[in-house]
Structure 1
């Protein structure tokens, strides 16, 4: 039986975990399907900030929520700098008003860019299909008949 990969929850699907006070690196790796190396990288980048207990990293609910933002942002093509900008706005103390505005703006810009790329891809596919149709419609040469 093939191993199944954990599904990466979408931001909306991140349920609060009142049953937990904190999370270990193995907990977040399993929940989000990421490696410990990836979590350490996000820590080095200042995107998450687990506390330390000896050599163990102890992740908070805030770290867990930020990780969900990071992974969703990466999936849709945001740079780490853009992700950092959006998640850091959570802390400015305005009931997340600016964070929402900036995130909506960045998402709309990303949608526009993806729509343009989609049109370019569709045009390239059409052109390639026309080329294939043209080549398939050419008469076979004498050398083709010998093979």
Structure 2
């Protein structure tokens, strides 16, 4: 069942669609689907990373905005700053070749990969040192335990 609203959007039982027939998601649906808070989505909007459509106070997210959110979350997961993510997203041109965007993404990705590999090396070293310390502590504890007394028979 479709209901046509005054602004030419359709409300369906499955959700809301825009005039092109694309399904729109409300902010709460987006937050739940991607495991983020409403505050996070509003923050990304304030930073210019997302620009949902508005129906009064209701934020409605298109497929484009959902894709942008996926890229933001991926960027954050791999350690990019929001500034880096925004730079990469802002270079996207729907009708263009996006060579500039792709080059920037590759450059930033190579630098981030180098940082992550350094962090991995530091973590591996810290784990090794921690294992060594724990081995020494266990040995000292074993030395402190009283020896069992043999039963006289």
**Could you say whether these structures have the same fold, taking a TM-score greater than 0.5 normalized by the shorter chain as the test?**
yes
- Where does residue 23 of structure 1 map in the other structure? 25
More strand by percentage: 2
1:23 is paired with a residue whose SS is strand
Cα root mean square deviation, aligned: 2.4
Deviation of 1:19 after TM superposition, in Å, equals 6.7
Q: Distance in 1 between matches of 2:139 and 2:29?
A: 58
1:57 is paired with a residue whose SS is strand
List per-residue Cα deviations over 1:14-67 (Å, max 9, x = no partner).
xxxx97342221332232122222111111111111122111112222211111
More helix by percentage: 1
Query: Structure 1: any 5+ residue segments left out of the alignment?
Result: 1-17
Q: TM-score, normalised by structure 1?
A: 0.75
1:22 is paired with a residue whose SS is strand
Alignment length, in residue pairs?
127
Structure 1 runs (4+) greater than 6 angstroms displaced: none
- Where does residue 136 of structure 2 map in the other structure? 134
* Structure label with greater radius of gyration: 2
Deviation of 1:94 after TM superposition, in Å, equals 3.8
Task: Say if 2:146 is the partner of 1:145.
Answer: yes
Q: TM-score, normalised by structure 2?
A: 0.72
- Where does residue 44 of structure 1 map in the other structure? 46
